[in-house]
Homo-oligomer: A and B are copies of this chain.
């Protein structure tokens, strides 16, 4: 059995696992992501530790030794896939990650943007299996994304394709941390959901009475998962807040369908846990707003199969695919 290591470097956690060729996680471990005040070397130390630990765990469990390391990272990965151009949650800027790690890990290393890795996992083993043209949307605090065309990831000329969250949907709209206004992720993301819920609560809207009661009157407890839980209990305001996020999701998907014409949109990330409370309104808006509707087949909109493990699974699979090929 061929096995591979997958690592996923997120803003808060580094997850690692040894996976088989079917994308199953055989053993796993995790660490906190070092704070961005640390030097790049500190993050690398963590990655090396995780790999060493996984190799030891595999040996102990009698699992075939992994032959490759695939890394998914939340950041811009250059087209050469050796360098992380910019990672907002880390201290990386033009960090030659593959080279630095290559001196310390004696296995072929492949680096990929985390959303690309997640789409690859869904394409190989999940919600986009069998689709040659797919678009992934990861709804977390912001929006990440990835594109598959004819079975291959589209990385762009400089490796930075799929940054859908910063497509403008409202001229002069909400300020975004990217410096612009009206970015899609300001209307459809976990941050947008929480902002709107808190806004309602702080305006003392009677609509927010039940919502606030659910969190004991503590506005700071109005998190994305909390709002989703409250919506599942039937709270009309929480349902409406999720529907609004879903509406804007549908707007953006219709835009992406016009540009990319995929067969399927896969919706992942933490907010996608809301399921049809989110995807129902998204599908409605999409159906109403898709250009050429009635004259073309429409893409499916479906929930991701893999949750937080998607990056890990995809990174391992990409690493195995590329690391086992002659360079």
Chain A residues close to B by CB (< 8 Å): 76, 85-86, 93, 131-133, 145, 147, 149, 154-171, 178-180, 183, 251, 254-256, 258-263, 289, 291-293, 295-297, 299
Question: 19 additional contacts, CB 8 Å, given A86-B296, A160-B292, A162-B261?
Answer: A85-B296, A131-B157, A145-B259, A147-B260, A156-B261, A156-B262, A157-B262, A157-B263, A160-B261, A162-B259, A163-B259, A165-B258, A166-B258, A166-B292, A168-B255, A168-B289, A170-B171, A178-B292, A259-B259
Contacts of A263 in B (CB 8 A): 157-158
Residue of B nearest to A297 (CB): B158
Q: Are B167 and A296 in contact (CB under 8 A)?
A: no
Contacts of A255 in B (CB 8 A): 167-168, 255
Q: Are B251 and A292 in contact (CB under 8 A)?
A: no
Contacts of A256 in B (CB 8 A): 259
How distant is the Cα of A261 from the Cα of B297 in the complex, in angstroms? 26
Q: Given contacts A154-B149, A260-B154, is CB(A169)–CB(B171) below 8 Å?
A: yes
Q: Given contacts A157-B262, A158-B297, is CB(A163)–CB(B86) below 8 Å?
A: no
